Structure 1
């Protein structure tokens, strides 16, 4: 039998504050929505975006790193795991909460995606696993993303 062994550092600084993280988790539980996290990583005035090889028509091929929050997993742990699994980078600080949006999963279940700005120890090398490629997209100008992600990135820029 094969089993996965996770080797993640789940205790970055949390400039955001633990109270904020607990409130977000409690609000999602009260609203009956599953939690996901999305992460903004900036380097040289550009944001790290992940690119699917194929994408549905009308949807952006570019995505922020993110993941499902597992049962019993802290939001901080999910943020760290998402960045490590999808980019190979290490989170050293969860800086701030950028907002959220709700949607229905492919299975029709309600989901809330909470977004966070993080600081990583080093911006490279980026090693994508679940995506075809990555891009550092400049924050100035038009961002090729969905309206929901555009709003999150506008919050980040402010």
Structure 2
């Protein structure tokens, strides 16, 4: 990110680490409360992100040969030990798409599940604003699509619930 963007958006990204300070329209107390609840419930925390542009939402496409997974997913990541939720949200978007979060707008809900290792996980979802919507640089996905939420999407029922909450 050019230095001018760093000053304008109040964030920086180091080569080996990731520090951010995006605006938090959602309120820092909401983020802290969600993180505290996950600790109290003894669940690992992940984040999922909804990015909207011109009435469509960014969906990432997995490798079509990957068995047992939904073909489309939202950007997201694990929250690292000691990492603030706002940092994890911005890092997820940057690492998976190359886009820069400038505001965490609202919390969309969560769901719990068991990881492949059988450990309890909670995935908290957020709507965010980004500095620009391109270019998108993928790291872990085969492709991406900007999709309308009007039709039936090939996503898990849990993600469908999050997207329904986002629409309302």
Alignment TM class, shorter chain as reference: over 0.9
The separation in 1 between residues aligned to 2:119 and 2:19, in whole angstroms, is 30
1:23 match: 33
- TM-score for the superposition, normalised by structure 2: 0.88
Q: Name which structure has the greater RCO, CA cutoff 8 Å, separation 6+.
A: 1
2:66 aligned with 1:46, yes or no?
no
1:103 match: 113
Count of paired positions: 153
2:23 aligned with 1:13, yes or no?
yes
Match of residue 159, structure 2, among 149, 152, 158 = 149
Instruction: State the Cα deviation string for residues 3-42 of structure 1 (Å, max 9, x = none).
Output: x713x45101000000000110111011000000000000
Task: State the 1:139 CA deviation.
Answer: 1.6
The separation in 1 between residues aligned to 2:66 and 2:126, in whole angstroms, is 24
Match of residue 125, structure 2, among 105, 110, 115 = 115
2:66 match: 55
Alignment of 1:76-91 (within 5 A): 76-91=86-101
In structure 1, list runs of 5 or more residues that go unmatched.
none
Instruction: State the Cα deviation string for residues 70-112 of structure 1 (Å, max 9, x = none).
Output: 0110000000000000000000000000000000001000000
The separation in 1 between residues aligned to 2:154 and 2:27, in whole angstroms, is 31
2:144 match: 134
Secondary structure of 2:127's counterpart equals strand
The separation in 2 between residues aligned to 1:61 and 1:149, in whole angstroms, is 12
Q: Bigger shift: 111-120 or 131-140? A: 131-140
- TM-score for the superposition, normalised by structure 1: 0.93
Secondary structure of 1:100's counterpart equals strand
RMSD: 1.1
The separation in 2 between residues aligned to 1:9 and 1:23, in whole angstroms, is 21
Task: State the 1:55 CA deviation.
Answer: 2.7
